[in-house]
Chains A and B, each alone.
Chain A
Amino acid sequence: MHVSITEMERETYKKSPIHGIDGRIKILMTLAITIYVVALPRMETLNFTKLGILEAYLLLLLLFSKIELSHLAARFAIALPFGLGISILQPFLKQPFLHDFTIMYRLPMGIEVTNEGLLYGATIFLKFFVCISAVILLSSTTSMSELVASARRLGLPKEMALLFTMMVRYLFVFWNMLGRIRTAQKTRCFEIWNRKVPRKWTLEQIGYTISSLFIRSYEQGERTYQSMLCRGYCADAHVYVDKKKLHITDFAVLAITFGVIIITNIQVF
């Protein structure tokens, strides 16, 4: 599975009700959901309903956003492995914050599956899954430059805003540059899995690719910096971000999101 940043950016330029929501609102939504989910208690069966409602809400939004399913599947497939791995191991571990364990199964070699471990593993995986869904919703419906501008409007310090503006502007330039280097290497039959050439040589070639990218991006940085100086850039300068009015629909979406979070806390569930 591989998703290139260009594919990711292409999805963000689609038109849909979700794409139309102001970036600030989407950032706040993602932050609220993530912080709420992380703050949920570690071990509670009630969590499952809460997380289920939140996940259903996020999936509904993803459905409305017209993002291609194959793209979504690929995004999840990239994000999941490390978290999934650690969650799967939980039933076999003795969590240090617990004292009593009920053993469900005894496997050979003294491996024990505990009830509590299973509950903790399932909880942590679901929590992680909801967080990933929220981030994927944010990043596949908001373009990177829009994200940076929204973060600036939300009060990101001006130096950080400048750094990120420059970074996302050149991300795609260097991405394509790496693509060209790779194509050039392929035409010369270069292949990192090739075992027939000495390892040292392959490693050197990779090193040179990296050096070339490093120097080219440094030189691009120099050129950009100098041209900025020519146009009057100084230490007090900051990125201009135009004011953008929030619409009633934006506030409505934010209110609905907080509403969903509050609903999950009603004892009925």
Chain B
Amino acid sequence: MRRLLGEEKLRHRELDLLSYSYDSSFLTQTGDFRPDVIVVARSAADVAATVRYAHEHDVPVVPRGAGTGQTGGAVAARGGIVLDLSPLNRILELDADNLQVICEPGVVHADLNAFLAKRRLFFPPDPGSTKMCTVGGMAANNSRGMRAIKYGSTGDYVLGLDVILPSGETITTGSVGSRALQSSSGLDLTRLFVGSEGMLGVITRLRLKVLPLPASRGLVLAAFDVLEDSGKAVLAVFQAGVLPSAIEILDSSAIKAVNLYKPGLDLPAAEAVLLFELDGNKPGVAHDAQRVAEVVCQFTPRVRWADEPKQVAALWEGRSVVGAASGQVRPGATRVYAGEDICVPIARVPEALRGIQDISGKYETIVVTYGHIASGNLHAAPVIDMASAGERERVGYVAEEIHELALRLGGTVTGEHGVGLTRRAYMTREHGPALATMSLLKNALDPQGIMNPGKTFPE
């Protein structure tokens, strides 16, 4: 590898192996996932050379962006090479006339949108980890974020990819040299690689669709005394013909967490708070915000709306700090990422929230829950004392029961974070015979099983 890449791109000292042995999953905090070596890629050629080496020597390769995932997807489950793609962070070309941008996988999501915003454009998927996650990681996990209900997933914006296959060969998906915004030509390999969590190849270049940046944003905040009414209000808004850009829910645990963390925000005491975000041109936003407020008033009198940027920011702050707040509801404890990403049918969100509260009570573990109610995607945040072996053990059961709850309600164990190591156990139950087809595809592309082994498929 030294001969192929040069010593300066290799990391193999004890400290390096430790530094690449985690992501933000609870699992990687409690196990040892050190690779044998790290390759810090500086070019697609480095990536190709690394994969060819792995192919020739039958060594596992784990692609990694910023390592902000929550599933252990970017750590070495079976040793081998971790391929750090975060230095590949160039925005190669903005083709504004054709609403697309070409970039490398290590570009940080927030940096891309800061670049695009200067041209009144944006890349709509909006993960909570925007400041540090990379677009390559987003594509590999098919990330979504708060605005998925209106704008969809990362996969909806990936027009084409350069992928280095496990054999070391490079292919371009989405038609070679194409700048078309859509295509029905051939099998959709782009969609195959999106969400494949590094198990089929390594993405080295992305062609992404971008959209005009909405000029205005409005917000409606509503507090509900009865949790189930929040679900009814969401459906009523849809039935009224309004499609918000985001609808976020904080349950009573999250409201309490926010008020403890930032008492000045003074979120109303309630079983649930909903935040509806509207975007578009200013008159349209004002109209839609008023309409949402009218509809929601059928279920609760406690409704406020705003379309002035400062007021919008003030109303939104409760949602923006809930992630931080959840970790601080209990002094000395920490929020862990386990059972954190279920997605259930929209109509069953209140049922899921009550179920999570029951699980929280059963295991005497604080769980703060919030999420994207419009798509049924809930983020449960268990808060534990990491020094307590009992609590570390109990949180495993909490996560297991939350996943079981999602499947029981007709949902999925992951709405946007992926499977990685942490949710392999549910794949057979969730996919049935389709899992075998996934395995066939994996084996066809990676017969040696060198690409990110140990992930997604149950052992």
A and B interact = no
